[in-house]
């Protein structure tokens, strides 16, 4: 995600309305490139976050608190010296650039009111937070930029602040329809119109440019000659909306609900189901980064478990291939029995010391002959017994390897279910439950150290209420699946699971009542959504009364067999899951 100038203009107005004339209470610097300013205004406390992170530069109000270093960094001390007790007068944005300037007023050492500026430049790896006096003299900055780093622009204490190098772009809010039309028609027609807009106007990201072209019904890569007029009109309509301040912050969700982007309002280039509305830009940004941070931490904390599962999957796949090869190799065992039978039937015709005999195959309708290799050191009877022994050994191998192959396939199915449950973990309790399951099943060694393991909240199943008032439980891991099905569910409760697809056990508590079609469909949707088939269409979900579900002896956690079931086909809908009441 990149904070473009369009979104930043809406954010600046929002911050201005909330923080104007607010008093600066405290300032912290929890990260080397991140500042937290605590502001008191209109009886409310606000925490303003400014980050010059190369990957996630931003500014917004936040509810997230962070641990601070024991000794504040120099930049933090400079800000405290000049700003504590002062007021935030206003927030401005030069043009539509990705720069916000915070204007402060505070008392100096002589007791006189002085003005200062805190400038945040949101420009990827070149992002910075720069503190200057009223005349633009730099007092300090989060990142010091010397001539050795940039020959174009120094950012050092004592130097005067200069604007970042201009790229020759103009403010789109002042561009008229004719100007935009002239620009589009004067460019090379092989250049996509969205690229022209993003390259010639400040504050327009490629995403915003694509939305303007969509509004004009001109797809990416379309010919300017065919749609320049419509794009010019859509451009002026878009920025008319921006000038009027008609913002409605939107969070765009990607795969597995991972936050993908923040928009100033709904963009038609995204499906409506992927967009979530927020009351303010700060709420959207705070949720965006908090969610991404949580998901990245979960990703990091599950990396070892994913590796364990993946390594065991690879082991099982190789083992399955070897078992299948052994079975295929032993499939020719029937010929050994034939050789033994033919030798026994014709033993009176075979002389001792023969190296090969040709005998008529009485099993063949055409009476074809068979050439049989013989061991000259053995009698014909001994040769026959040797072939019968080979046949018996091969049969044993087939039966044995077939059993092993069945067990290996079941283990692969079990590991796939573990991987699926791990991908749906939302907190440390869920991760801990799967870690414990892997330990119990011998995939992880239990820590034998004296240090007591950290205690986490117990992971509980998902608990929903259907439209008809029926309670529905969904297991988050295999141990929960077993407990739900074998301990929690009553005999007449409804049990659901995706057919031949790793996923969660779903229990509908019926209290002996028949299950309405709406509840059945909602439960089936949950079973499909919390499975490996969540991105597929027409996912088969089997269902039956709990009394028809059994767990075979020695089966892995979550593995059951069932009978007298029916099947319903559903296309998983995340939106429908979100609409359900969660208990």
pLDDT at 270 over 60: yes
Instruction: Give strand pairing partners of 247.
Output: none
Instruction: Say which residue the tokens 């295929």 belong to.
Output: 328
- What's the confidence (pLDDT) of residue 338? 86
CA-wise closest residue to 464 among 545, 525, 512: 525
The better pLDDT of the pair 60, 458 is held by 60
Q: Are residues 101 and 51 in the same domain?
A: yes
Q: Are residues 482 and 576 in the same domain?
A: yes
Q: Could you give the percent of the chain with pLDDT greater than 70?
A: 96
Q: Are residues 118 and 195 in the same domain?
A: no
Q: Are residues 521 and 560 in the same domain?
A: yes
CA-wise closest residue to 509 among 499, 519, 518: 519
In a domain, 19, yes or no: yes
Last residue of one domain, picked from the residues 141, 163, 192: 141
Look up the domain containing 118 and give its range.
15-141
In a domain, 455, yes or no: no
In a domain, 420, yes or no: no
In a domain, 181, yes or no: yes
Last residue of one domain, picked from the residues 277, 301, 319: 277
Q: Are residues 476 and 524 in the same domain?
A: yes
Name the phi and psi angles at 188, rounded to 5. Answer: -60, 125
User: Please, are residues 518 and 466 in contact by the beta-carbon 8 Å criterion?
Assistant: yes
H or E element, residue 21: none
In a domain, 166, yes or no: no
Indicate the Cα dihedral angle 457, 462, 467, 468, nearest 10°: -90
In a domain, 527, yes or no: yes
Tokens of residue 191, six digits: 């250049």
- What's the confidence (pLDDT) of residue 84? 95
Instruction: Give strand pairing partners of 470.
Output: none
Q: Are residues 473 and 556 in the same domain?
A: yes
For residue 101, give the CATH number of its domain: 2.30.310.10
In a domain, 58, yes or no: yes
For residue 228, give the CATH number of its domain: 1.10.8.50
pLDDT tens, position by position, 167-176:
788 899 888 8
User: Please, are residues 411 and 418 in contact by the beta-carbon 8 Å criterion?
Assistant: no
Q: Are residues 19 and 137 in the same domain?
A: yes
Q: Are residues 384 and 471 in the same domain?
A: no
Q: Are residues 262 and 355 in the same domain?
A: no
Average pLDDT over residues 350-357: 90
Tokens of residue 393, six digits: 């050994």
Domain count for the chain: 4
Mind giving me the DSSP string for 273-340? GGEEE-SSHHHHHHHHHHHHHHHHHHHHHHHHHHHHHHHHHHHHHHHHHHHHHHHHHHTTHHHHHHHH
Last residue of one domain, picked from the residues 141, 162, 195: 141
Q: Are residues 135 and 176 in the same domain?
A: no
pLDDT tens, position by position, 189-224:
788 889 999 999 999 999 999 999 999 886 544 454
CA distance 105 to 85: 9
Q: Are residues 515 and 571 in the same domain?
A: yes
What pTM value is reported for the model? 0.66
Q: Are residues 37 and 137 in the same domain?
A: yes
Most confident of 93-107, 256-270, 391-405: 93-107
In a domain, 3, yes or no: no
pLDDT tens, position by position, 311-342:
999 999 999 999 888 887 777 777 888 888 89
């Amino acid at each position: 995600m990149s904070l473009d100038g369009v979104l930043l203009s809406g954010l600046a107005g929002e911050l201005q309305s909330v923080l104007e004339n607010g008093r600066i209470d405290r300032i912290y610097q929890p990260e080397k490139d991140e500042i937290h300013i605590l502001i008191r205004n209109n009886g409310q406390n606000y925490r303003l976050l400014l980050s010059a992170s190369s990957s996630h530069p931003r500014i917004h109000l936040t509810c997230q608190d962070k641990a601070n270093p024991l000794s504040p960094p120099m930049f933090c001390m400079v800000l405290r010296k000049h700003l504590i007790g002062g007021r935030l007068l206003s927030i401005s944005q030069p043009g539509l650039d990705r720069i916000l300037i915070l204007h402060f007023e505070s008392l100096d050492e002589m007791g006189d009111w002085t003005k200062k500026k805190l400038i945040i430049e949101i420009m990827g790896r070149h992002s910075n937070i720069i503190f200057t006096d009223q005349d633009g003299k730099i007092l300090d900055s989060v990142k010091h930029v010397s001539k050795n780093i940039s020959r174009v622009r120094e950012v050092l204490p004592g130097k005067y602040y200069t604007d970042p190098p201009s790229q020759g772009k103009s403010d789109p809010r002042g561009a008229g329809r004719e100007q935009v039309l002239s620009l589009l028609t004067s460019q090379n027609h092989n250049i996509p119109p969205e690229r022209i807009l993003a390259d010639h106007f400040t504050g327009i990201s490629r995403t915003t440019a694509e939305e303007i072209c969509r509004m004009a019904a001109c797809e990416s890569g379309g010919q300017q000659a065919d749609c320049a007029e419509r794009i010019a009109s859509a451009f002026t309509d878009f920025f008319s909306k921006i000038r009027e301040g008609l913002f409605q912050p939107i969070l765009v969700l990607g795969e597995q609900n991972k936050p993908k982007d923040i928009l100033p309002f709904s963009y038609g280039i995204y499906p409506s189901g992927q967009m979530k509305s927020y009351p303010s830009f700060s709420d959207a940004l705070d949720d965006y980064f908090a969610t991404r941070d949580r998901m990245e931490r979960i990703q990091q904390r599950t990396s070892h478990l994913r590796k364990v599962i993946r390594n065991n999957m690879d082991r099982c796949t190789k083992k399955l291939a070897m078992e299948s090869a052994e079975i295929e190799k032993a499939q020719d065992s029937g010929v050994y029995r034939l050789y033994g039978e033919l030798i026994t039937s014709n033993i009176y015709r075979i002389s001792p010391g023969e190296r090969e005999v040709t005998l008529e195959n009485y099993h063949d309708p055409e009476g074809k002959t068979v050439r049989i290799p013989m061991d000259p050191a053995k009698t014909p009877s001994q040769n026959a017994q040797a072939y019968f022994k080979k046949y018996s050994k091969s049969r044993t191998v087939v039966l044995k390897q077939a059993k092993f192959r069945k067990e290996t396939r079941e283990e692969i199915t079990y590991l796939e279910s573990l991987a699926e449950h791990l991908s749906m973990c939302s907190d440390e309790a869920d991760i801990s439950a799967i870690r414990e399951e892997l330990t119990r099943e011998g995939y992880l060694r239990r820590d034998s150290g004296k240090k007591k393991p950290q205690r986490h909240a117990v992971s509980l199943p998902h608990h929903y209420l259907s439209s008809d008032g029926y309670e529905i439980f969904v297991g988050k891991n295999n141990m929960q699946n077993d407990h739900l099905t074998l301990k929690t569910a009553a005999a007449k409760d409804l049990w659901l699971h995706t057919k031949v697809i790793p996923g969660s056990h779903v229990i509908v508590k019926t209290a002996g009542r028949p299950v309405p079609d709406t509840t059945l469909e909602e439960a089936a949707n949950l079973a499909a959504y919390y499975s490996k088939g969540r991105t597929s269409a027409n996912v088969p979900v089997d269902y039956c009364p709990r009394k028809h579900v059994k767990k075979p002896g020695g089966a892995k956690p979550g593995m059951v067999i069932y009978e007298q079931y029916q099947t319903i086909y559903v296309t998983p809908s995340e939106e429908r899951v979100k609409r359900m009441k969660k208990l």
